């Protein structure tokens, strides 16, 4: 298929909307303690913001924002953040993934709250990176790229 020229309206709208999607995704991740949301949902929305840029501006331009080669290491890093939080709890004398033992703050309950936040961030990073990576993998075989 012949590639059409870049449409200024599409590129302008997607460039304007994408940061707001990212902002809302961060809100969903970090407000997961008080409202519906969390790592999986917020990570998917972050990935949607990146994929919107990829769709509208093309692969070469969007490499400036998020390189394809970052995706797999970031996904592994997200899982490692999750696993590492559990392992730190193990090192401080608790069970694996027992965040009450990590001394973030004074009380056990608040430690758990912050441990949950760490885990949500790890999940969000992994989900975001894997979504973008799958999109890139699917696009890589096309003759257009």
Partner 1 sequence: MKIVNYLIMIIFSALMIYASLSLPDRGDAYAVLNKEKSLAQTQNAASYYIHNAKKDAETENMVTVILADYRGYDTLGEETVILTAGLICFLLLRIEKNKNGKKKR
Q: Which residues bind partner 1 (CB under 8 A)?
A: 32-36, 38, 40, 71-72, 75-76, 78-79, 82-83, 86, 97, 99, 107, 109-110, 112-113, 115-116, 119-120, 122-123, 126-127, 129-130, 133-134, 137-138, 140-141
CA-CA distance, 73 to 121, in Å (whole number)?
15
- 124 CA to centre of own chain: 4
Nearer to partner 1, 57 or 115 (CB): 115
Nearer to partner 1, 21 or 71 (CB): 71
Q: How far is the CB of 34 from partner 1 (least distance, A)?
A: 5
Q: Helices 71-91 and 108-140 meet at what angle, rounded to 10?
A: 160
Nearer to partner 1, 56 or 115 (CB): 115
Nearer to partner 1, 63 or 76 (CB): 76
């Amino acid at each position: 298929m012949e590639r059409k020229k870049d449409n200024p309206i599409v590129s302008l709208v997607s460039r304007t909307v994408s940061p707001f999607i990212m902002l809302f995704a961060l809100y969903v991740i970090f407000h997961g303690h008080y409202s519906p949301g969390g790592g999986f949902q917020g990570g998917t929305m972050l990935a949607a913001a990146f994929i919107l840029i990829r769709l509208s501006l093309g692969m070469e331009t969007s490499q400036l924002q998020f390189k394809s080669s970052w995706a797999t290491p970031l996904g592994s890093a997200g899982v490692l953040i999750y696993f590492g939080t559990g392992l730190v709890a193990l090192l401080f004398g608790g069970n694996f993934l027992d965040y009450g033992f990590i001394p973030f703050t004074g009380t056990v309950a608040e430690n758990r709250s912050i441990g949950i936040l760490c885990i949500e961030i790890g999940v969000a990073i992994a989900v975001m990176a894997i979504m973008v990576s799958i999109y890139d993998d699917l696009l890589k075989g096309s003759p257009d790229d």
